[in-house]
Chain A
Amino acid sequence: MIAKTTNQKAWFFVLPVVLLVAFNAIIPLMTVVNYSVQETFGDNVFFWEGVGWFEQVLHSERFHDALLRQLAFSFIILAIEVPLGIAIALAMPRKGPWVSVCLVLMALPLLIPWNVVGAMWNIFALPDIGLLGKAINGLGIDYNFTRQPIAAWFTTVLMDVWHWTSLVVLLCYAGLCSIPDAYYQAAKIDGARGWAIFRYIQLPKLKRVLTIAILLRFMDSFMIYTEPFVLTGGGPGNATTFLSIDLVKIALGQFDLGPAAAMSLIYFLIVLLLCWIFYTLMMRGEEQ
């Protein structure tokens, strides 16, 4: 055995990172933890509250509703964006001058700031002057996203699909481009056609990028704030009040720091849990 040399000076090299992480993650998180177990009436005076806020949040109907809306929203946009993204990626050319045109067009929505996306769609969907809103009403369908919950959901989902499907497309396109030609040639010779090629070659080879795409889209959609805030402000009523919008209402609107802190921790744990479940499910059978 060779004796390992121990040099405690190595810690100094790690120190900058430790400080950085401490200041931008651990200390803010601990502040939240701190708020979540205390009650304050201002003036920086705090009282111990224990797990009271957690109990209150977990039993509150308002939280349940927001969570349900949030899950429904994430589910709907994943159900639309993932198949649509794969389909668009499959339809994109692999060679020739159109590749760059397609890639730029696809990347465009991703480059627009979130609040601008919200503002754009707000104006676009206005029933009296917006192109989309006016067109839908022109078809004889009564549509007003500021008054009808269904119209508000429809607009929010459409906006998210417009904004984020590109991400799925680009990831899938990269995945498709990395499949060696020999696979397609072998499939041709084996007599496989359309669906069989997709099912047995393309989809299995896309597994990893799809896992990443779904995880990214899930996390982003689960934390969505800016776009619906600008578009609908969480309305009409509470129809599009997702978790983060509700959280900001409680924390900054009502200044209920304790419940807001408890809620953000619960929120954080839910995201963590769901990501872990997703990842485990999709990577199952990978290690053999």
Chain B
Amino acid sequence: MSEIVLKDLRHSYVPAPKDDADWALKQVDVRWSDGGAYALLGPSGCGKTTLLNIISGLLTPTEGQVFFGTRDVTHEPPEQRNIAQVFQFPVVYDTMTVYDNLAFPLRNRGVPAADVDAQVRQIAEMLDLEDGLFKRAAGLTADGKQKISLGRGLVRSDVNVIMFDEPLTVIDPHLKWQLRSKLKELHHEVGSTMIYVTHDQTEALTFADQVVVMYEGTVVQIGTPVELFERPKHTFVGHFIGSPGMNVLPCQLEGGVPQVGGQPVPLGNGPVEAPAGARLELGVRPEFVTFADEGLPVQVVKVSDAGRHSIVETRLAGNRVMLLVREGESLPSESARLSFDPAHTQVYADGWMIA
């Protein structure tokens, strides 16, 4: 068990990378503490799996180093790194029983039979695999097989890190919920560092203490679910997390105050200074937008009912602005005015938050 440090990591699948697009991982520099639960969140193709495979040793990075504690493991193969990984699709050794499947990683490392038995039974109990422990694994359903894969990942008690690569993709929704809670529980019991890769924000936010959001081969923000929600450091984080995502509106600065469609928008933290020539945008989450008597003039375009609240789509100087209105509150019909919560309104330059 140890801290994981990724230093100046870059990776390309092209033999001689030239321009930016050749890099699957552009620049990753992170430090993950021992025993944490981390989620790697991002859309397909953003480099999550590449990063995971570099940590597990299935890939050697083109540039940069991987440290487990103070040990440089960059060029060590997976079996020497003492890690566990669970894949997107269940991997089950068909000819073995459930028990033998779970015991396989231990037996390969020459663990004494008595210890193998104790650990396998403990994991089987945690994952509710005790019934049919001595049946052939081949006959199980997809979620049963994935439980075995999870079990093989969790069965070794001394691993540096356990990595999950979208492990619940093939699982039915109601079981997904169960297994996810189970994993969270196991994290408390086992106490190993866990890294969970997913493109599903709910999965990431419910599982992890810290979420690492990736976009086009870079880490755009690392933070708690609340930080990601309230202070997205990049417009991508704003879009990607939350439903509906953050409103992003092009704006100008006049005397340090952002203007949208010629109207000033008050900010919580003082006058803004932007680098010259940068593309400026204003970001505010639908949760922090309200109808008001005074403020930005908008046209109401569409109202959709989402149960406890309505999602209202409005148009502000040609830009779409979404807001959430609680059930029962009155809705203006056509023209209305909006106010943004100054404490939760951010300004972005070229995508990155400046205020």
Check if A and B associate: yes
- CA of A203 to CA of B96, assembled, Å: 12
Interface centre among A180, A183, A190, A204 (most CB of B within 10 A): A190
* A185-B58, A200-B93 known; A190+B87 contact, CB < 8 A: no
Kindly state whether residue B95 has any CB partner on chain A within 8 Å. Answer: yes
Kindly list chain B residues whose C-beta atoms are within 8 Å of the C-beta of A204: 93-95
Interface residue count on the A side (C-beta < 8 Å): 19
Q: What string of 1s and 0s marks CB contacts (under 8 Å) between B71-85 and chain A?
A: 000000111000111
Kindly state whether residue A253 has any CB partner on chain B within 8 Å. Answer: no
Determine whether the beta carbon of A186 is less than 8 Å from that of B87.
yes
Kindly state whether residue B32 has any CB partner on chain A within 8 Å. Answer: no
Kindly state whether residue A201 has any CB partner on chain B within 8 Å. Answer: yes
Kindly state whether residue B108 has any CB partner on chain A within 8 Å. Answer: yes
B119 → chain A, closest Cβ, in Å? 14
A95 → chain B, closest Cβ, in Å? 13
Determine whether the beta carbon of B104 is less than 8 Å from that of A288.
no
Interface centre among B56, B79, B91, B104 (most CB of A within 10 A): B91
CB within 8 Å of A: which B88-127 residues: 88-89, 91, 93-96, 104-105, 108-109
Determine whether the beta carbon of A190 is less than 8 Å from that of B104.
yes
Determine whether the beta carbon of A190 is less than 8 Å from that of B105.
yes
Kindly state whether residue B138 has any CB partner on chain A within 8 Å. Answer: yes
Kindly list chain A residues whose C-beta atoms are within 8 Å of the C-beta of B78: 185, 188-189
- CA of A201 to CA of B56, assembled, Å: 20
B277 → chain A, closest Cβ, in Å? 46
Tell me which of B56, B87, B109, B136 contacts A182 (CB under 8 A): B87
- CA of A191 to CA of B83, assembled, Å: 10
Q: Is the interface of A mostly helix, strand, loop or mixed?
A: helix
Kindly list chain A residues whose C-beta atoms are within 8 Å of the C-beta of B79: 188-189, 191, 193
Q: What string of 1s and 0s marks CB contacts (under 8 Å) between B145-159 and chain A?
A: 000010010000000
Determine whether the beta carbon of A200 is less than 8 Å from that of B84.
no
Determine whether the beta carbon of B77 is less than 8 Å from that of A188.
yes
Kindly list chain B residues whose C-beta atoms are within 8 Å of the C-beta of A201: 93
- CA of A53 to CA of B345, assembled, Å: 100
- CA of A205 to CA of B93, assembled, Å: 9
Determine whether the beta carbon of A189 is less than 8 Å from that of B83.
yes
Kindly list chain B residues whose C-beta atoms are within 8 Å of the C-beta of A185: 58, 78, 85, 87
Determine whether the beta carbon of B85 is less than 8 Å from that of A288.
no
A284 → chain B, closest Cβ, in Å? 12
Kindly list chain A residues whose C-beta atoms are within 8 Å of the C-beta of B56: 189
Kindly state whether residue A196 has any CB partner on chain B within 8 Å. Answer: yes
Closest to B109 in A: A191
- CA of A205 to CA of B92, assembled, Å: 11
Q: What string of 1s and 0s marks CB contacts (under 8 Å) between B19-36 and chain A?
A: 000000000000000000
Q: What string of 1s and 0s marks CB contacts (under 8 Å) between A190-208 and chain B?
A: 1111001000110111000
B11 → chain A, closest Cβ, in Å? 16
- CA of A196 to CA of B108, assembled, Å: 9
Kindly state whether residue B15 has any CB partner on chain A within 8 Å. Answer: no
Kindly state whether residue A285 has any CB partner on chain B within 8 Å. Answer: yes
- CA of A201 to CA of B139, assembled, Å: 16
Kindly list chain A residues whose C-beta atoms are within 8 Å of the C-beta of B149: 186
Q: What string of 1s and 0s marks CB contacts (under 8 Å) between A12-23 and chain B?
A: 000000000000
Determine whether the beta carbon of A200 is less than 8 Å from that of B108.
no
Determine whether the beta carbon of B58 is less than 8 Å from that of A288.
no
Closest to B104 in A: A190
Closest to B91 in A: A186
A197 → chain B, closest Cβ, in Å? 10
Q: What string of 1s and 0s marks CB contacts (under 8 Å) between A267-288 and chain B?
A: 0000000000000000001001
- CA of A189 to CA of B85, assembled, Å: 7
Determine whether the beta carbon of A288 is less than 8 Å from that of B105.
no
Determine whether the beta carbon of A191 is less than 8 Å from that of B95.
no
Determine whether the beta carbon of B89 is less than 8 Å from that of A190.
no
- CA of A196 to CA of B152, assembled, Å: 16
- CA of A203 to CA of B85, assembled, Å: 23
Interface centre among B77, B93, B138 (most CB of A within 10 A): B93
Kindly list chain A residues whose C-beta atoms are within 8 Å of the C-beta of B104: 190, 192, 200
Closest to B89 in A: A182
Between-chain CB contacts (< 8 Å), 25 pairs: A180-B89, A182-B88, A186-B91, A186-B149, A186-B152, A189-B56, A189-B58, A189-B79, A189-B83, A189-B84, A189-B85, A190-B105, A190-B108, A191-B108, A192-B104, A193-B108, A196-B108, A200-B93, A200-B96, A200-B104, A203-B95, A204-B93, A204-B94, A288-B136, A288-B139
Q: 6 extra interchain contacts, Cβ-Cβ under 8 A, other than A182-B88, A182-B89, A200-B93?
A: A186-B91, A188-B58, A189-B78, A190-B104, A200-B96, A204-B93
Return the 9 tightest CB-CB contacts between A and B, nearest first: A191-B108, A186-B91, A190-B105, A288-B139, A182-B87, A204-B94, A204-B95, A200-B93, A188-B78
